[in-house]
A and B are shown apart, each in its own frame.
Chain A
Amino acid sequence: MNPSSDAPSDSVPTCPHLAAVQQACGPLESSVFRGQQRVVVPAEQSFAALSLLKDRGFDLLVDVSCVDYLEYRGAKHRYGLVYLLANTSSNDRLTVRVFVDDPEPTVASVVPLWEAANWLEREVWDLFGIRFTGHPDLRRLVMPEEFTAHPLRKDYPLQGRGERHNFPVITRDHS
């Protein structure tokens, strides 16, 4: 979903799940691209909306990821979370977007709904620095625990900030 698009489609949603979410959360921006239905949910309502969608049959959480829109032309928000949902019986798919901003990018954890979110949210915290409130074990997933930056942010350089050169050298005598 392009955050710069100035024309949110306020037309009557065709997807029945979308209508249900709109009924619960008020009018939401939604769009379709290449046959994929997408809806933007405000951060404070994300848990309620996702919970509702889970009850409506979206039992599989395919992915939780994030995009940093720092250098994206015309972007209104810094981070856009992506929740990809799927229904294993009807094979419907739905993409839920939640936008959060600096300085304290925070969103409610969906681990109580899907256990699958546990490691996926840890990865987003690790690489983007977005806090998930209510997460049972929000530790870094792929980077070492003592790492301080969030490397998939756009202001983090491709070749790093020299962390590699500063790794402590452990010798055989001082291990």
Chain B
Amino acid sequence: MSIAPAEFEAPSERRSEDYLWTLNFGPQHPATHTTLRLVLKLEGERVVDAMPEMGYLHSGFEKIGEHLTFNQYVTVTDRMNYISPMANNVAWHHAVEKLLGIELTPRCSYIRTIIAELARISDHLLCNGAVGLDTGAFTFFLYAFYQREVIYDIFETLCGARFTNSYTRVGGVSQDITPLVIEKIRSFLKTFPKTLDDMERLLNRNRIFVDRTKGVGLLTKAEAINRGATGPVARASGVTRDLRRDEPYLAYADLDFHVCCAAAGDCYARYLVRMQEMRESLKIVAQALENLPAGPVNVGIDQRTALPNKKQVYSTIEGTISHFELSMSNRGFEVPCEESYAAIEAPNGELGFYIVGDGEDAAYRARCRPPSVLHFALFPHLIRGHTLSDVVAVLGSLNIIAAELDR
């Protein structure tokens, strides 16, 4: 025989909080994927409120940025959004070059465009793969991760590092792109659309997946703008903002692509936007590869920013002097006592750096504008009223990367 709770005490005497159950989710939990914590208030299985906590991976990246030179700090940006380190490298040196007023060579901007788009594909593969994994689609996750390996191989051939690439330099990149890399990217461009078709066939109309993501974690357009969402999260809510089109940087002005948007604003729309963006990225990579300009990859010796190549160092006096000066502190960059902000459309949203220069080789202040912070702040708004099992779907669709979140 069961006794209803109402028989014990009158509802008016009961405190409203009494039958809420507090569940601690994280900071170490397989479904958070990274080190972050949620304190959930549950009524039965329904989430009444959520309190996100962050800071478990705080490593003072911005403080370190005040002590490392512009070229050294790129290794730290690798560790911010470690899912797409190439995009962070590009963002950091894009901002540095804006402050120093350096114009890139056409070949360098095309190479950076290619690697930034490959980074976007690998980021979206992880995000959508993880959403699939958390909602029960394990095969989908393996499809996504196999393709990420292919992109890692391309990056390894390009710069020698698979994961923490540190590929860009002030005024250029560490190595020029080689025919072998181009061949590998071409073969990826051929094989990847087939996998993408398979992945879409696996999930797009999968009953379980659609039921678990459609209508979950709704974000309206007005809310998305007011709460500072950018990137795929905002575009899935109908915000047609994409810095690649709106403030063209690198080579994007020359390339033809669509900005992928959806109106629904739920987890399913975010999944679809990411899937579609991968196809657009493939288009961009293919065009950039076809039109890759010849010529030098780094800016010239006269600008005194990028290290000259070894042939120049050993056979010309300008190269020797330039190499020597750039290796010495206080003889390298001419940094203005000014401040500037530059952002790129990173896979996760607007990733920008606000850099203050004071004439030294290192930044006086290197503020990183991470998209993850604003997206994680959205979380309680998105999850209220949904069930506990929706937590992982919403969290996955926001693609929170704790290392970028905490810095």
Comparing A18-26, A42-50, A62-70, A101-109, the segment that makes contact with chain B is A62-70
> Hey, which chain A residues are within 8 Å of B29, CB to CB?
none
B373 and A120 form a contact (CB under 8 A): yes
Q: How far is the CA of A141 from the CA of B54 in the complex (A)?
A: 7
- Complex interface: chain B residues within 8 A of A34 (CB): 98-99, 101, 340
Shortest Cβ distance from A116 into B: residue: B228
* Contact residues in B for A2 (Cβ distance below 8 Å): 337-339
Interface presence of B46 (CB below 8 A): no
Given the complex, which residues of A lie within 8 Å of B55, measured CB to CB?
Answer: 140-144
**A78 smallest CB distance to B (angstroms):** 13
Judge whether A95 and B226 touch: CB under 8 Å: no
Given contacts A114-B226, A151-B60, contact A36 B239 (CB under 8 A): no
Interface residue? A115 (CB, 8 A) = yes
* A28 beta carbon closer than 8 Å to chain B: no
> A62 with B54: in contact, given A34-B101, A158-B67 (CB under 8 Å)?
no
Asked if B186 is at the interface (CB within 8 A of a chain A CB), the reply is no
Query: Measured between alpha carbons, how far is A115 from B364 in the docked complex, in Å?
Result: 29
With A84-B354, A143-B58: A62-B339 Cβ-Cβ less than 8 Å: no
A115/B340 contact (C-beta < 8 A), A68-B365, A82-B354, A142-B58 known: no
Chain B contacts for A71, CB-based, 8 A? 364
Interface size class of A (residues with CB under 8 A): 35 or more
**In whole angstroms, how far apart are the Cα atoms of A45 and B238 in the complex?**
34
A59 interface contact, C-beta 8 A? yes
**B39 beta carbon closer than 8 Å to chain A:** no
Against A, the Cβ 8 Å flags (1 = close, 0 = not) of B313-356 are 00000000000000000000000011111010000001010101
Among B63, B377, B407, contact of A118 (Cβ-Cβ < 8 Å): B377
Q: Mark B367-407, 1 if CB is under 8 A from A, else 0.
A: 10100011011000000000000000000000000000011
Tier of interface size on chain B:
35 or more
Q: Does B246 contact A (CB under 8 A)?
A: yes
In the complex, A141→B350 CA distance in Å? 21
Across the two chains, which residue of chain A brings its CB closest to B341? A84
Kindly list chain A residues whose C-beta atoms are within 8 Å of the C-beta of B239: 88
Q: Is B225 an interface residue (CB 8 A)?
A: yes
> Does B358 lie at the interface of the complex (its beta carbon under 8 Å from any beta carbon of A)?
yes
Residues of A within 8 A of B343 (CB): 62
* Assembled-state Cα–Cα distance A7/B379 (Å): 45
**A138 at interface by CB-CB < 8 Å:** no
Per-position 1/0 for A32-55, Cβ under 8 A of B: 011010000000000000000000
Q: Smallest Cβ distance from A9 to chain B, in angstroms? A: 14
The one of B66, B67, B352, B359 that contacts A62, using a Cβ cutoff of 8 Å: B352
Which B residues are in CB contact (< 8 Å) with A141? Answer: 54-55
Q: Is the interface of B mostly helix, strand, loop or mixed?
A: mixed
Residues of B within 8 A of A73 (CB): 337, 358-359
Contact status B227-A116, CB under 8 Å = yes
With A and B bound together, what is the CA distance between A95 and B407 in angstroms? 23
Considering the complex, give the chain A residue whose CB is closest to the CB of B221. Answer: A88
In the complex, which residue of chain B has the Cβ closest to the Cβ of A4?
B337
Please name all residues of chain B whose beta carbon is closer than 8 Å to the beta carbon of A82 when the two chains form the complex: 339, 341, 354, 367
B247 within 8 A of A: yes
> Is the pair A72, B373 in contact by a Cβ cutoff of 8 Å?
no
Q: Are A88 and B341 interface neighbours, CB within 8 A?
A: no
B225/A59 in contact, CB under 8 A: yes
The interface bits of chain B over 209-232 (1 if a CB of A lies within 8 angstroms of the residue's CB, else 0) are 000000000000001011110100
Considering the complex, give the chain B residue whose CB is closest to the CB of A154.
B66
Residues of B within 8 A of A68 (CB): 365
CB A106 to nearest CB in B, in angstroms, measures 21
A65-B354, A142-B54 are known contacts. Are A33 and B367 too (CB-CB below 8 A)?
A: no
When the two chains form the complex, which single residue of A61, A95, A127 contacts B228, counting CB atoms closer than 8 Å? A61
A47 to chain B, nearest CB (A): 16
Measured between beta carbons, the chain A residues less than 8 angstroms from B64 are: 158
| Interface pairs (11), CB distance under 8 Å | A4-B337, A36-B340, A61-B228, A62-B352, A67-B356, A67-B367, A72-B356, A116-B227, A120-B373, A141-B55, A152-B62
**Which residues of B are at the interface with A, using a C-beta cutoff of 8 A?**
54-55, 58, 60, 62-64, 66-67, 98-99, 101, 223, 225-228, 230, 239, 241, 246-247, 337-341, 343, 350, 352, 354, 356, 358-359, 364-365, 367, 369, 373-374, 376-377, 406-407
Q: A residues engaging B (CB < 8 A)? A: 1-2, 4, 33-34, 36, 59-63, 65, 67-68, 71-73, 82, 84, 88, 91, 95, 114-116, 118-120, 123, 127, 140-144, 151-152, 158
Given A60-B241, A67-B356, A73-B359, list of 19 further CB < 8 A pairs?
A2-B339, A33-B339, A36-B340, A61-B228, A63-B367, A88-B225, A88-B239, A91-B246, A95-B341, A114-B227, A114-B228, A120-B228, A127-B62, A141-B55, A142-B54, A152-B62, A152-B63, A158-B64, A158-B66
